[in-house]
């Protein structure tokens, strides 16, 4: 399995950045315009899903099934590179040496991505190991250790539902985990220093994380975030989801009790003061930055007058968002497709050239198709079907003698379906441009010095598309022109006006 082309890495990385950046910007604007609560957890989770999954799935689909994207932009497959031109490999030693880079660009991009992914995964594994070690070393809490009846009753209620309460001597903030069993871990000093009412609310807050399945959601988002480690917009949307989850858990802990608002805010401030003196962050469930902490405290004390998103509105926004991002995903697939579409079917390209039927003239029903000369002063030096001399087999095109850098013009209107220095399975062709003229007609230009067009571009007859050269396996500078009708090579000279 070969590495994806540089186009694959560039297009999909750029698409991920564009899609998630737009999703974050539009999501924030709609959030303010609709006056939604910051605790609209479902809203931001939907934004995250729509922003991250479609571009990622498109990239995975193309990486695993490159043929799925290859047929999108092309009406016909690219011509198979079959004209080797020269008979003996000895001639090739007389050509200028083309030094290839020690590490192709595709491999360099793959190494950069793999390195970033590895660093993110190692950091996640280290953090997970710290959490697992804390949970493993924590001990069950003695009923006498609870500061009052409220916190003890809350712990007993959770124990009946299968949630374990444990204490640790490590200097951490309270947190909850689902594996190997639902557990809430509290530091010993919190039990000793926090009041009964505040501790009860802290326990209710952590229990709400378990009820909302936040540990599982956090694991999924961490995995997707690792795959998209290069995208800062993914982390910002994930932070919005996390903040909404924290506010939902705060609301669950308060449960409409006005007296509990001040107690939870005091408990939160106590936790923040303890957290400021910690050397190791052992939990990711706290917002980063003063703005996030201020928002949480305001919600604890005063609630949120803004509304939650209704089910009907949520479904409508989800449908519109899915349609928009679906279109962008198709565009992403189409932009990356030329790099994949250029690869011929191995079974087709491996056919023996002796089994191919050479057409000396175009089919009778297609004689209306004509080509203008591709050069301002065309001089034919090699004809279709020529054999002998240095040729290994019959010539598949028409050669024009010209100097390096001579402008090459489109002989008819068409769409650029290839413009590359590495034509698939055709290193002897050198730099190549292929035009699709419709109705089954294609033309191929080889041994170029460079090209002035891009894949997908429409060109008119007489428009400059390239410069002639001596790239690939040649004895001297010239332009090699091939014409194809429904994939069958025909004599280009008979089509020239």
Q: In the chain, what are the domains?
A: 353-494 (2.70.70.10)
What pLDDT, on a 0 to 100 scale, did the predictor assign at position 171? 82
Looking at beta carbons, which pairs linking 420-428 to residues 24 or more positions away fall under 8 Å? 420/342, 421/471, 423/81, 423/342, 424/78, 424/81, 424/342, 424/343, 424/344, 424/349, 425/80, 425/81, 425/343, 425/344, 425/349, 426/81, 427/472, 427/473, 428/81, 428/83, 428/84, 428/85, 428/472, 428/473
Helices (H), 342-412: 346-349
Give residues with Cβ within 8 angstroms of 492, minimum separation 6.
371, 384, 397, 398, 443, 481, 482, 483
Is the CB of residue 441 less than 8 Å from the CB of residue 392?
Answer: no
What pLDDT, on a 0 to 100 scale, did the predictor assign at position 446? 94
378 in the Ramachandran plot: left (φ > 0), alpha (ψ -120 to 50) or beta? beta
First to last CA, the chain: 45
What pLDDT, on a 0 to 100 scale, did the predictor assign at position 413? 92
What pLDDT, on a 0 to 100 scale, did the predictor assign at position 61? 80
What pLDDT, on a 0 to 100 scale, did the predictor assign at position 70? 42
What pLDDT, on a 0 to 100 scale, did the predictor assign at position 281? 44
Is the CB of residue 394 less than 8 Å from the CB of residue 387?
Answer: yes
What pLDDT, on a 0 to 100 scale, did the predictor assign at position 3? 64
Is the CB of residue 177 less than 8 Å from the CB of residue 135?
Answer: yes
Q: How far does CA 99 lie from the centroid of its chain?
A: 32
Nearest to 410 by CA among 380, 375, 368: 375
Is the CB of residue 283 less than 8 Å from the CB of residue 172?
Answer: yes
What pLDDT, on a 0 to 100 scale, did the predictor assign at position 289? 66
SS3 content of the chain, % helix, strand, coil (to 5): 50, 15, 35
Cα separation, 228 vs 235, whole angstroms: 9
Backbone angles phi, psi at 477, to 5 degrees: -65, 135
Please state the length of the chain.
497
Q: What is the pLDDT along the chain (497 residues), one digit of tens a residue?
A: 456 777 788 888 998 999 999 999 999 999 999 899 999 999 999 999 989 988 888 888 877 765 444 433 445 778 887 776 554 333 333 333 334 444 577 788 889 999 999 999 999 999 899 899 999 999 999 988 999 999 999 999 999 999 999 999 988 889 999 988 999 999 998 888 889 999 999 999 999 999 999 999 999 999 999 999 999 999 999 999 999 999 999 999 999 888 899 999 998 988 887 766 555 444 434 455 678 888 999 999 998 888 887 878 878 888 888 888 878 777 776 666 543 333 333 333 333 333 343 444 444 444 578 999 999 999 998 888 887 666 667 888 999 999 999 999 999 999 999 999 888 878 889 999 999 998 889 999 999 999 999 888 899 999 999 999 999 888 889 999 999 998 888 999 999 86
Is the CB of residue 39 less than 8 Å from the CB of residue 251?
Answer: yes
SS3 195: coil
CA separation (Å) from 123 to 126, 169, 238, 273?
5, 24, 17, 26
Q: What is the pTM of this model?
A: 0.64
Q: Give the pair of three-digit tokens for residue 200.
A: 């009860």
Nearest to 13 by CA among 112, 155, 147: 112
């Amino acid at each position: 399995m070969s590495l994806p082309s540089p186009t694959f890495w560039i297009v999909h990385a750029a698409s991920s950045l564009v899609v998630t950046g737009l999703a974050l910007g539009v999501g924030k604007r709609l959030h303010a315009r609709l006056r939604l609560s910051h605790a609209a957890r479902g809203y931001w989770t939907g934004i995250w899903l729509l922003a991250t999954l479609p571009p990622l799935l498109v990239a995975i689909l193309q990486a695993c099934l490159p043929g799925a994207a290859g047929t999108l932009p092309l009406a016909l497959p690219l011509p198979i590179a079959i004209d080797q031109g020269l008979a003996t490999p000895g001639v090739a030693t007389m050509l200028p040496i083309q030094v290839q880079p020690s590490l192709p660009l595709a491999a360099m991009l793959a190494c950069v991505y793999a390195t970033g992914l590895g660093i993110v995964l190692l950091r996640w594994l280290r953090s997970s190991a710290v959490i697992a070690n804390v949970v493993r070393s924590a001990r069950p809490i003695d009923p006498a250790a609870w500061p009052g009846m409220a916190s003890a009753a809350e712990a007993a209620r959770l124990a009946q539902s299968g949630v374990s309460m444990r204490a640790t001597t490590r200097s951490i903030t309270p947190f909850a985990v689902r594996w190997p069993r639902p557990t809430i871990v509290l530091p010993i000093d919190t039990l000793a220093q926090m009041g009964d009412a505040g501790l009860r609310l802290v326990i209710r807050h952590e229990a709400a994380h378990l009820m909302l399945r936040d540990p599982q959601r956090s694991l999924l988002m961490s995995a997707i975030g690792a795959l998209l480690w290069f995208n800062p917009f993914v982390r910002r949307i994930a932070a919005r989801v996390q903040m909404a989850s924290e506010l939902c858990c705060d609301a669950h802990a308060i449960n409409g009790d006005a007296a509990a608002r001040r107690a939870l805010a005091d408990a939160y401030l106590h936790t923040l003061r303890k957290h400021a003196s910690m050397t190791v962050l052992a939990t990711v469930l706290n917002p980063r930055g003063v703005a996030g902490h201020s928002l949480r405290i305001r919600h604890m004390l005063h609630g949120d007058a803004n509304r939650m998103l209704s089910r009907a509105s949520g479904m409508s926004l989800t449908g519109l968002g899915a349609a928009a991002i679906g279109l962008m995903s198709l565009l992403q697939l189409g932009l990356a497709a030329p790099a994949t579409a250029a690869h011929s079917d191995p079974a087709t390209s491996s056919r023996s050239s002796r089994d191919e039927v050479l057409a000396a003239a175009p089919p009778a029903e297609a004689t209306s198709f004509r080509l203008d000369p591709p050069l301002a002063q065309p001089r034919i030096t090699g004809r279709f079907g020529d054999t002998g001399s240095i040729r290994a087999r019959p010539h598949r095109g028409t050669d024009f003698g010209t100097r390096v850098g001579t402008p090459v013009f489109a002989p008819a209107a068409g769409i650029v379906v290839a413009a590359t220095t590495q034509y698939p399975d055709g290193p002897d062709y050198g730099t190549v441009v292929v035009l699709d003229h419709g109705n089954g007609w294609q033309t191929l230009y080889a041994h170029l010095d460079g090209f002035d067009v891009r894949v997908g571009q429409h060109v008119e007859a007489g428009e400059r598309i390239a410069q002639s050269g001596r790239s690939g396996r040649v004895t001297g500078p010239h332009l090699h022109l091939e014409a194809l009708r429904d994939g069958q090579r025909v004599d280009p000279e008979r089509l020239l006006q």
